[in-house]
Amino acid sequence: MTQTNNFLPMLRELVRCYQAFEQYSSSHVRGMGLTPSQFDIIATLGDTPGMTFKELGEKTLITKGTLTGVVDRLEGKGLVKRVALPQDGRCSIVMLTRAGEREFKRVFLPHVDHMGKAFGKVGTADLDALQVKLAELRSILETCAGSAAEPEKN
């Protein structure tokens, strides 16, 4: 265990910040008739030719186990479709249907505007600094996660 736990107040604030972000974002998304996970997939697939499940999982905040179920529900609503890759029939691309593209246009920019109302209260220099610091923290955590997977040498 670390001798000092001086990171705990920052960690608590980071979690509280994420919870506040999630509440602000998801209430708007739900008001548009989607779940946050459905919105995440539609927003990620918008303006793309589609993605494999692996790519979609890497670009969204959705865990692998949840991703299939959300895609199934979106497919049931006619918003996405699966297309088998010609070179590998076991792998498929998830892509928006025409209805999905209309849904993307209906929800994406209004949600960006909604989020902009909150983030517009933070100055550009502060947003830039936050982005840099969060990227540094993510990099440290990813490095530590990678080394935690390696066995310790005595």
Q: What does the pLDDT look like over 108-144, one tens digit per residue?
A: 999 999 999 999 999 999 999 999 999 999 999 989 9
Query: What 3-state class would DSSP assign to 116?
Result: helix
Q: What are phi and psi of 130, to 5 degrees?
A: -60, -40
Tokens representing residue 70 in the block? 């959300």
Q: What does the pLDDT look like over 80-97, one tens digit per residue?
A: 999 988 777 778 899 999
* Ranges of each domain in the chain: 9-148
Q: What does the pLDDT look like over 6-64, one tens digit per residue?
A: 899 999 999 999 999 999 999 999 999 999 999 999 999 999 999 999 999 999 978 88
Where does the pLDDT of residue 5 fall: very low under 50, low under 70, confident under 90, or very high at 90 and above? confident
Angle at 136 between CA 134 and CA 141, to 5 degrees: 95
Residue range 9-148 forms a domain whose CATH class is mainly alpha
Query: What 3-state class would DSSP assign to 33?
Result: coil
The residues, any chain, with a CB within 8 Å of residue 118's CB and separated by 6 or more, are: 24
